[in-house]
Structure 1
Amino acid sequence: MTFQITVQPSGHQFTCEEDETVLTAAMRAGVGIPYGCKNGACSSCKGKVVSGTVSHKAHQQKALTPEEESAGWSLFCCATAHSDLVIEAREVEGSSEYPVKKMPSRVSTLEKVAPDVIVMTLQLPANEKLKYRAGQYIEFMLRDGKRRSYSVATAPDSEQPLALHIRHMPGGLFTEQVFTTLKERDILRFEGPLGTFFVRDDSDKPMVLLASGTGFAPIKAIVEHLVQQGSQRSMTLYWGGRRPQDLYMDTLCRKWAAELPNFQYVPVVSNALAEDNWQGRTGFVHQAVMADLPDLSGHQVYACGAPIMVDTARQDFVAQCKLPADEFYADAFTSEADINQP
């Protein structure tokens, strides 16, 4: 059975089959509902069902509580329609600008930049190019239909190969392979570009770029893209790690800060050891932003990293720092362990 979905306030319409999610149908139709993990863990696709009925596949309660569901809220990435629907959703212009493609790639280089982080570059087939927006991600297609998502750390207009920052997750289906058996010239298949985490070009507001761990990867692509575009927007990067070694491209960030007049860099370490001799900022990275910028009412925030950091930053920036809720853009790095939590 096929159902008609109408999106408010845009009035866009698309059809949805009874066995697919609302988000999948929207993506197929080129309607830009925001999304991140696509697995009911990050809440990026949350919107309201104005009329009609849906049911939800398994998802995390922190992404959609029973109270929110009772009030008509929905996670469109795991919602299936049982009737025609009218939904409220904030659409993202440009999210369907480039077609999603399935492509083979060859591992070009594997460089260990921290004890638990490898930078992997990919070589695409001759005469093939992946068109994407800085901040978007790709999904590797693995055995048994499983997939793993990684943000592209290379600016889309760069001549450099696609680079991914991969953190070792002990026992992880893909990261164990990357850190043990994967070799240069091995073949990997992926699908992309995916995601709605990219810079909104219709604003000149100062940007706070907030990253934890390998959440730096899409932030790197965004910074380099804006530099290549000659953007004059103010950018302040707050990058947090447990120890200094987690800030695995600290030298690059300091180089940006020295050379770019509109760029500032604030590294923050939460659990430095005595042997680290850390002399910089300490604590939680989002609290460093709040200390420096208690009034975020005139800013945009782009946050990427651990779900707890992203969720806490969103709540605190809006509640305590006057950040408009619709000026917080995020990509939470949800691992398989995050997704499988109750």
Structure 2
Amino acid sequence: MTDSTIQSLRARVLHYQPLNEDVYHLVLAPEQPIAFQPGQYIELQAAADQWGAFSLACTSDATQLELHIQHLPHRPTSALLHQQCLRAYEQQDWITLRGPQGGAVLSNTGTEPLTLIAAGTGYAQIKSWLLALEKQASETAITLYWAVRTPDDFYDQQWLHNWQQAPQHQLIQVVELADAQWTGRSGRITEALAQDFIGPHSATHLKGLISGSPAMVYAVEDLLLERGLSPRALISDVHFYAPRDYSA
């Protein structure tokens, strides 16, 4: 991605409503089309020199842009951006964005199985991959791991329920702080993966995407590298903005 491909423009806020307690569904109508690839992100301007980066959770030919915005009131940029989005939604006003950016994009996968691993709103980036594959009528086998802190942090459950009806799709939801009603996997995402990839060569075949914080991405990678994963076989934006040396 070169700087010449990054646009800066206004977008009208069409929708800004909660998906759960602190994640909002933001729908934007940009003043001109943005060409992007599944897995890329845009930045939203919170103040003159403050920007927040968010993955696009829509298909690359969408005329409206969809994002999942986590409101973190203790973080100044997040608090400012939340206020801006609320105001712009109520007044059908504009906000400023720039993009697209990011190299963790969906390539021509053929028929090789994909493993997709998300934490929290990292699911937004993965949904853009899923939507693109669905549009291609792909029969690729996909295993999606989605980890959150509590069961209430999940959202988009009806869409995922429909998605996993395809026999080649598997959804594994993991809750770190499970309650008595939760019947799925519990613990950290690395603990869930350790249950599924046991032997020293069990992750050799994996390819796909990890979407989350640097700490989460590299914890997952460290576990799977011990089980045969090839470096960067599971790509991530973290590899670009917080790279590490795999030759060490």
- TM-score band, normalised by shorter chain: 0.7 to 0.9
Alignment partner of 2:93 out of 186, 202, 207: 186
Alignment of 1:110-149 (within 5 A): 110-125=16-31, 128-149=32-53
Q: Which residue of 2 aligns with 1:209?
A: 116
Partner of 1:169: 72
Tell whether the 8 Å contact from 1:244 to 1:278 is kept in structure 2 after alignment.
yes
Rounded Cα–Cα distance in structure 2 between residues aligned with 1:149 and 1:325: 25
Are the structure 2 counterparts of residues 186 and 215 from structure 1 closer, same or farther at C-alpha, using a change threshold of 3 Å? same
* Count of matched residue pairs: 232
Counterpart pick for 1:290 among 174, 188, 194: 194
What residue in structure 2 maps to residue 261 of structure 1? 167
Counterpart code for 1:241 = V
**How many Å apart are 1:203 and its aligned residue?**
5.2
Residue 11 of structure 2 aligns with an amino acid whose one-letter code is S
Q: In the alignment, what sits opposite 2:184?
A: 280
Distance in 1 (CA, whole Å) between partners of 2:109 and 2:143 is 19
Q: In structure 2, do the counterparts of structure 1 residues 238 and 191 end up closer, same or farther at CA, with 3 Å as the change threshold? A: same
Gaps in structure 2 of 5+ consecutive residues? 239-248
- Equivalent positions of 1:1-342 (< 5 A) are 27-28=2-3, 99-125=5-31, 128-158=32-62, 161-180=64-83, 182-183=86-87, 184=89, 185-201=92-108, 204-258=111-165, 260-274=166-180, 277-294=181-198, 295-319=202-226, 321-332=227-238
Q: Show structure 1 runs of 5+ residues with no match.
A: 1-25, 31-98, 333-342
Give me the whole-angstrom Cα distance separating, in 2, the residues matched to 1:215 and 1:112.
16
Q: 2:194, 2:112 → 1: CA distance?
A: 17
Q: Pick the structure with greater CA Rg.
A: 1
Determine the C-alpha separation between the residues in 1 that align with 2:197 and 2:161: 21
User: Contact conserved, 2:39 with 2:105, CA < 8 A, in 1?
Assistant: yes
Assess, with a 3 A threshold, how the Cα gap between structure 1 residues 109 and 315 changes in structure 2: closer, same or farther.
Answer: same
Alpha-carbon distance between aligned partners in 2 of 1:206 and 1:287, rounded to the nearest angstrom: 22
Asked if structure 2 preserves the Cα contact closer than 8 Å seen for 1:269 and 1:281, the reply is yes
Aligned residues of 1:205 and 1:299 also touching (Cα < 8 A) = no
**Identity score, percent:** 27
CA distance in 2, matches of 1:278, 1:323: 31
Q: Deviations over 1:97-137 (max 9, x none)?
A: xx221111011101101111111110122xx2111001100
Evaluate the alpha carbon distance shift between residue 187 and residue 158 of structure 1 in structure 2; reply closer, same or farther with a 3 A threshold: closer
* Match in the other structure for 2:246: none
Please give the root-mean-square deviation of Cα atoms over the aligned residues, in Å. 2.1
Cα offset, 1:205, TM superposition: 2.5
Higher RCO (Cα < 8 Å, 6 or more apart): 2
User: What is the deviation of 1:272?
Assistant: 1.8
